[in-house]
Amino acid sequence: MTQKLLFVCLGNICRSPSAENIMNHLVEKAGISDRVICDSAGTAGYHVGAMPDRRMNAAAQKRGLALVGSARQFEPSDLVNFDLILAMDKHNYRDILSLDPSGKYAHKVKMMCDYCQTHSDREVPDPYYGGVSGFDYVIDLLFDACDSLLKSLPHA
């Protein structure tokens, strides 16, 4: 059985593409690339088609990871097409659920930080307007959450 995971933030150039790339890295390392498919999206269309933020990429490279992909906007069909949708913060979470007024897919939408093992954050902070340390922190936080998320997947 293939698990389809979607990571969602606001613009899809910092947090969610980082989570997607980290998860892909961990999935590949675990040898289960044939069973887990990852993607990312933004609740807003500000950066559609853009590559991941260069500062986020620099932070990821410190951990041996190069970020790839291009930004896209979250679509209502994503609620149907993905098994698990991971919101980076409460605003993203509410924006996703607003596209599902009947609540049919609400069980698929989770907060990314619910999977953290060592960090106590409830939301992944948006580093966009901050300094280098914020980007580094988000990478560490996402590695923590993705590691636990991987362990929680069926047959991972």
Catalytic residue positions, numbered:
9, 15, 126
Q: Which of 98, 88, 81 is nearest to 20 (CA)?
A: 88
Q: How far is it, in rounded angstroms, from Cα 133 to Cα 136?
A: 5
| Strands in 21-99 per DSSP E | 36-42, 84-87
Q: Which helix (H) or strand (E) holds 111?
A: strand 109-111
Query: Which among 130, 5, 150 has a CA at the least distance from the CA of 59?
Result: 130
Contact 99, 33 (CB under 8 A): no
CA 40 to chain CA centroid, Å, is: 6
Q: Which of 147, 127, 140 is nearest to 26 (CA)?
A: 147
